Amino acid sequence: MPNTLSRAGRRHPLLDASRSSTRWLWLALAFSMCVGVLGRGYWTPDEPREADISWRMSSQTDKAVPLLAGEAFCEKPPLTYWIAGAAIGVFGADGWAARLPNLLYALITALAVASIGRRGAGSLAGILAAAAISTFLLSYQVAIWLATDAPLLAAVTVALLGLYIGFYANHTGERLRGYSCMHAAMAVGFLSKSAAAWMVPVLTIAALVVWERRWRELLRWELYAGVALQALLILTWVWFVYAGRDGPAHLKVFFWNNLVGRFAKVDAPDALQYAGAHQNSPGKYLIELPAYLWPWTLLVMAAVRRAIQARSMPEKEFRLVRFAIATFVPTLAVLSLAATARNIYLAPAFPGLALLLGWWARDAVNTPDAWNSRAIRGTSLLLGLANLVAGGAALLVGWDSWPNLPWPAAYVMVAGVGILMSVSFAGAAWRAAIRGLVVRGLFALVFAYCALLIGPASQIYRAVNTWQDLSAIGRAMRRDAGGRPIILFAPDETTRAFVDMYASTSVEFLPGPIAATTMDVLRTRLDHTPRSLVVTQMPGRVDNRTLRELAERLGLGRRMPPPAVDRDLAPAWITTARLRIVHLYALPNGRRYALLESTEL
């Protein structure tokens, strides 16, 4: 860390022990990530779908096009599914195995951000920037989720590191290495989530060129030397898709419907109209940004305020701030104009905010400011409130799950110790802020949040896993079907995925919506194969005992769904289609399904 002086002119006492503190910080971040990645099953939305695609990829011969329940899934290139499929092939199809590569993606992201921060403002900035990108609510969600966004974020962050090295290089060799690293990472990102990998690096370098008026940078041959490598990797995959079955049609979905169709409505079937889902609205990302940054929202606000004040700093000292702004703001502007909007679309730009926070932390050590102390104290209060919420959630979940807990004492101990440690560290951060010890306060905040993620969160996940355990329903369906043909009636992607993984890989798929015409088609198919069983999702959900009792005490009992899966509450279309319920399945606080057969059997 930098050889920074305190107000009294002596070295800050925490900086004297910085190496030890940093080791503990990295260890806390690693444990937090492990809990989120390895401590869960497959959760909706999206994870069951991604799991089935990865599971299929682990055994399919044609690796160019991902498959969902045996049908081509051309929304994303296959790199994520190659890697997750390889993990599944070695360790099995459990959620922790499929997400095991996410730990590598999170490590790459943190190290790349740390490297940029260290180059721009010293090791303290790098360490705290890495801590920020690992714990922002949005980037943490991306890191622990089985989806294409975790490898995308890692690839974009490495591309930004290469861009930083190349753009600010002092000689040709360094510039060539930096820009080549950028292109290689962009190619990997493209194979993870298509051209979305290009947006942040391209907008960043364009903004830097304009801001610093370095037009000559666009003419340097080193900037374009790596394009050949990028083209080789991407076009090799494109060729294998094109040469495969229905190759041109698959490429159209990959590059037209799924790219252009995210920004504007295109001429395509309704199933491929991506602009119709997750519709954008003016200012959506900016309005929701404070939630994405939680729990470091107040710290980022303090960093923005300080950056505005320090805009007249010498060029080299302000370099990291320009790079951070160029990384985030143009991407935010472009996404705000898109037809679709999801929070994860903004995640690849979050390294910019992490770097800004790292720079601010480094600057705050040398530039005492009352706002710094207020931001740290405010964040410690937010974490204190979060501990109250987490404690209440752990108590509620534990009370409901107590009879089924294998080790109740461990539940109480882990959740309780985590909350006590988090509160203790939050208090330490408050005291450090009052004394003007910015670094000590920031480290304490990170430890407080990690204790929250490791302690109560790990225990709450155990209960939520039972609410999301679609594998249990799939295996029960397989047992109850007894080898009879299965028809999936109006299923969503989640239903298709878990039935494919756990019930049967050979089912007949009848898309929705449920209407008179689709029911006629269903009856026709049942007439041809009268022994077929029909799987359909039932409306509503089944609430667990504790939540129902709590709702009744709060006077909300009448608004709650039925307390059990009741055959008499089945949708009317089941009788109209001349079907009857054979088996009902439900998860607590989760989905409901029915296995149907014809009444004419």
> Can you tell me the mean pLDDT for 536-547?
71
Residue 4 lies in a domain: no
Residue 568 has pLDDT above 70, yes or no: no
Per-residue model confidence (pLDDT) at position 277: 61
Give residue-wise pLDDT tens across range 356-368: 999 999 998 888 8
Q: 128 is in which domain, residue-wise?
A: 37-366
Give residue-wise pLDDT tens across range 407-437: 667 777 888 899 999 999 999 999 999 998 8
Per-residue model confidence (pLDDT) at position 16: 31
Per-residue model confidence (pLDDT) at position 552: 60
Report residue 166 as tokens: 């190349």
Residue 200 has pLDDT above 90, yes or no: yes
Residues 187 and 301 in one domain: yes
Quickly tell me which residue has 């049967």 as its tokens: 504
Residues 101 and 202 in one domain: yes
**Torsion angle, alpha carbons of 579, 583, 588, 592, to 10:** -20
Per-residue model confidence (pLDDT) at position 560: 44
Give residue-wise pLDDT tens across range 7-44: 333 444 433 336 788 889 999 999 999 999 999 999 99
Answer with the one of 366, 401, 422 that is the final residue of a domain.
366
**Helices and strands counted in the chain (H then E):** 27, 7
Report residue 214 as tokens: 């370095």
Give residue-wise pLDDT tens across range 316-329: 889 999 999 999 99
**Which string of b and e fits 330-356 if b means at least 16 CB within 10 Å?**
bbbeebbebbbbbbbbbbbbbbbbbbb
Residues 47 and 70 in one domain: yes
Per-residue model confidence (pLDDT) at position 10: 43
Residues 118 and 206 in one domain: yes
Give residue-wise pLDDT tens across range 462-519: 888 888 999 999 999 999 999 999 999 999 999 999 999 999 999 999 988 888 888 8
The CA distances from residue 143 to 82, 130, 150, 355, 470, in Å, are: 18, 13, 5, 18, 22
Answer with the one of 336, 366, 396 that is the final residue of a domain.
366
Residues 498 and 396 in one domain: no
DSSP character at residue 561 = P
Residues 556 and 536 in one domain: yes
Q: Are strands 590-598 and 579-586 parallel, antiparallel or unpaired?
A: antiparallel
* Number of residues that this document lists for the chain: 601
Give the Cα separation of 266 and 339 in Å (integer): 11
Q: Based on the number of CB atoms within 10 Å of its own CB, is 20 exposed (0-12), middle (13-18) or buried (19 or more)? A: exposed
Give the Cα separation of 232 and 238 in Å (integer): 10
Residue 256 has pLDDT above 50, yes or no: yes
